[in-house]
Amino acid sequence: MSRLIVVSNRVADPTLPQSGGLAVAVGEALSDGNGIWFGWNGEIREDAEGSGVNLERRGGVTLATLPLSQKEYDTYYLGYSNRALWPVFHYRLDLAEFDVAALEGYRSVNRRFAKSVAAMIDNDDVVWIHDYHLIPLAAELRKLGVENRIGFFLHIPFPPPEIIAAVPDHAWLFDTLHAYDLVGFQTDQDLSNFKRYVEQSSADAGPVTHPFRNGTRMMDARTFPIGIDVDSFIEMANTPKANDRIKRLTRGAVRNHVIGVERLDYSKGLPDRFRSFKRFLENFPDQRKKTVLMQIAPPTREELVAYAEIRTELEQLSGAINGEFGDFDWTPVRYIHRSVPRETLAALFRGSKVGLVTPLRDGMNLVAKEYVAAQEPDDPGVLILSRFAGAAAEMEEALIVNPYDADEVAKALHNAVTMELDERLDRHGKLLARVRHSDIVSWRRAFMDHLRGHGQADDAA
């Protein structure tokens, strides 16, 4: 039987609470099949480069993992993936650092992953590779003679070619995408940026046709907006324990709980969000003691300077807002720099009148979808969503804002906390229908159908 082999940078134990969107999505995508999830186990070991693949069975999934050496971690993971590609793909050339040794580490880990994956593949297996850490993996697999169907999904945005032009060796990197049978993006905008890039980099080949041609192989590129497991999230938000948490959250004088949840990453726009919340307190003094912003921001990539800086900035901002506006009986910003269990998140979403999701740039943003799913259908809260999240392309009944414009976000906050029930019901009903329509199952099915070659010809993106 044809198996699905998923490859991603990090393999997480699907039975433990995780905090990465990819981990959540892939764990759910594999749990109903005989799939294998291959990738790094999160360990750094000096003998890593000589070590074999460790196989174990967890929650219906076979995990095939290997460690990285310190040098691999520093170059492939921190250096190229997260100091160069992550900022560039999030339109932040100002934060990108390019380094030849980092690029070499990136290439060599992709080669090492390819050797291990090639050794596991049977003829009719299908391989699904995830995210920016592993762009050249299919090209490395092809070099080893792997002819299986291989797909790639980019979880983060694909920037315009004018931004990519600043990346040294970008032609090498993006040419390797042509080794895939299928390349998936979150939104039509990402796909169109990719098409423009291909067009501009093959100027003499004429306008790009769809699918893209590469020697004898045809690469198809399409949009597959990722979603969540809606029912399991609803269930999590409605347990007796969740009800108890919601009671504890909402028993004081504060009426308007505003919730934000994301890894502490500069792409998520947290300092701008705090400034917008401050503007809301300034512009709408009557809402002051009624409103609290709870921001949960677990640490991520702490070794990188840009992440240490944003942590300091947020601590200063939350302290300054609480110092200026807070009172003996009211703390306007509750900032939690720790990961919290998923069930607690679901309860906090349901107990909060406003979901404030304002990234400066985001591939999709699953938190926006989780917030909508968690709401009480008879008395739902309001989602405020950045126009720069991929999710904004679908979720048009949210209050869509420009996260750089503090006055606009402050106004949306006021609109949200004062919105009448009829309008909240109407918006929420439509949003929930959308979140259900493009959920995690439809995302995986659409991608796998296209990858296996059974996709609909007429739904080309």
**Are 390 and 157 spatial neighbours (Cβ–Cβ below 8 Å)?**
yes
CA angle 121, 126, 132 (to 5 degrees): 95
Output the DSSP codes for 244-311.
HHHHHHHSSS--EEEEEE--S-GGG-HHHHHHHHHHHHHH-GGGGGGEEEEEE-----TTSHHHHHHH
Active-site residue, from 90, 362, 439, 450: 362
**Are 355 and 384 spatial neighbours (Cβ–Cβ below 8 Å)?**
yes
In whole angstroms, the minimum distance from the beta carbon of 119 to ligand GDG comes to 28
Sign of CA dihedral 402, 298, 372, 332: negative
> Which of 4/296 has CB closer to ligand GDG?
296
Shortest-Cβ-distance residue relative to ligand GDG = 21
Residue type, 381: G
Return the residues of window 296-355 that contact ligand GDG according to CB under 6 A: 296, 298, 339-342, 345
Return the residues of window 241-270 that contact ligand GDG according to CB under 6 A: 261-263
**Are 343 and 402 spatial neighbours (Cβ–Cβ below 8 Å)?**
no
Return the residues of window 206-245 that contact ligand GDG according to CB under 6 A: 226
> Which of 218/400 has CB closer to ligand GDG?
400
- The correct pick among 4, 22, 237, 417 for binding ligand GDG (CB under 6 A) is 22
Active-site residue, from 155, 257, 428, 450: 155
Buried-exposed string 400-409: b where 16+ CB fall within 10 A, e elsewhere: bbebeebebb
Query: Residue count at the site for ligand GDG (CB under 6 A)?
Result: 27
Q: Which residues on adjacent β-strands are paired with residue 258?
A: 293, 354
Distance CA 70, CA 76 (A): 10
Question: What distance, in Å, lies between the first and last C-alpha atoms of the chain?
Answer: 30
Which residues make Cβ contacts (< 8 Å) with residue 128, sequence separation at least 6? Answer: 4, 5, 6, 7, 150, 151, 152, 153, 447, 448, 451
155 annotated active-site: yes
> Which of 102/226 has CB closer to ligand GDG?
226
Strand ranges across the sheet with 182-185: 54-58, 61-68, 36-44, 4-10, 126-130, 150-153, 182-185, 217-223, 212-214
Instruction: Give me 69's structure tokens.
Output: 């050496």
> Which of 19/176 has CB closer to ligand GDG?
19
**Are 375 and 419 spatial neighbours (Cβ–Cβ below 8 Å)?**
no
- The correct pick among 61, 364, 406, 431 for binding ligand GDG (CB under 6 A) is 364
In whole angstroms, the minimum distance from the beta carbon of 370 to ligand GDG comes to 5
Contact between 19 and ligand GDG (CB under 6 A)?
Answer: yes
In whole angstroms, the minimum distance from the beta carbon of 324 to ligand GDG comes to 27
> Which of 114/297 has CB closer to ligand GDG?
297
Return the residues of window 90-119 that contact ligand GDG according to CB under 6 A: none
> Which of 112/450 has CB closer to ligand GDG?
450
Return the residues of window 140-199 that contact ligand GDG according to CB under 6 A: 155-156
Instruction: Give me 169's structure tokens.
Output: 């060796």
> Which of 121/357 has CB closer to ligand GDG?
357
Among 70-78, 137-145, 366-374, 444-452, the segment contacting ligand GDG (CB under 6 A): 366-374
90 annotated active-site: no
- The correct pick among 28, 74, 229, 362 for binding ligand GDG (CB under 6 A) is 362
- Which residues of this chain interact with ligand GDG, rule CB under 6 A? 17, 19-22, 24-25, 155-156, 226, 261-263, 296, 298, 339-342, 345, 362-367, 370
Catalytic residues: 155, 362
